[in-house]
Amino acid sequence: MIGILNWNIDPVIFWITDTFPLKYYGAFFASGLLLGFYIVRNIYKKENVSLKNLDSLLVYVIVGTVLGARLGHCFFYESSYFFQHPIEILLPIQKIDGAYQFVGFQGLASHGGTIGVLIAILLYCRKYKVKLLWILDRMAVAVPITAAFIRFGNFMNSEIYGKPTNGNWGVVFERDDLIPRHPTQLYEAFSYLLIFGILYFMFQSEKIKHTNGIIFGCFLTLLFMARFIIEFFKENQEAFENNMLINMGQILSIPFIVIGLTLIILKLKQKRIH
């Protein structure tokens, strides 16, 4: 029977020092990245591909993810604030009562993270002479796992939650209010796990695997379509979105969906020609 879950977990697991906490979000974020790396590593091993530069790829992806996600949030959602406080863009600090304090990064945008990762992989491919679509296909299999873990971290933090359910079911995020809401973090997380299963199944097909770009195209299409749909149940992150027909998350998802569908169509046509 569907009911109400009262959620009031402290987002801090423990304090490493008096001013530096280890939070569930950071732990899930790091675990998701490492699990994604482990999946890509196993794919490389199964295909008898050299692991020589794989550690470097992990570094590129981590830097691209964090930097892109941070810049994405600052520019897409709170540009006016961060233009006035530029030091807070790349440093985990905030001016409180006239003094800077460590607060961690309070905003990371997944669309910015996606752009950051794509740029990082492009730079990696140029340096190590790797085919871009080949590596994007393999990365695409693993990324939904990382994305799911990040959303589990959001759930533990009681953030990026959904609109009121207006019923006798939902999750009450007691740290903010006592209203039953859609647990949209979990909607996204489980959607991404499903997408991981679909892409992993596709990767088992030799025909699909050797048509570079199809899996990556499906990844973009499926993941950002899921994001677009779930956004209808999610509370807007910033006040300026309240007067918009669709919110910023949906607007930013559309180009990725279009790119994904275009890539799938082009690759399928190319496959027929050959």
Domain positions in the chain are: 144-274
Distance CA 81, CA 127 (A): 36
Structure letter (DSSP) for residue 213: T
Neighbours of 241 (CB within 10 A): 17
pLDDT by residue (tens digit) across 25-80?
A: 889 989 999 999 999 999 999 999 888 888 899 899 989 988 888 888 788 777 77
pLDDT by residue (tens digit) across 125-153?
A: 999 999 999 999 999 999 999 999 999 99
pLDDT by residue (tens digit) across 242-259?
A: 888 899 889 999 999 999
What per-residue confidence (pLDDT) applies to 105?
63
Query: pTM score, two decimals?
Result: 0.87
What per-residue confidence (pLDDT) applies to 69?
84
Mean pLDDT for the chain?
88
What per-residue confidence (pLDDT) applies to 99?
72
pLDDT at 1 over 50: no
What per-residue confidence (pLDDT) applies to 190?
97
Percent of the chain clearing pLDDT 70 (strictly above): 95
Distance CA 272, CA 149 (A): 38
pLDDT by residue (tens digit) across 156-182?
A: 999 999 999 988 899 999 999 999 999
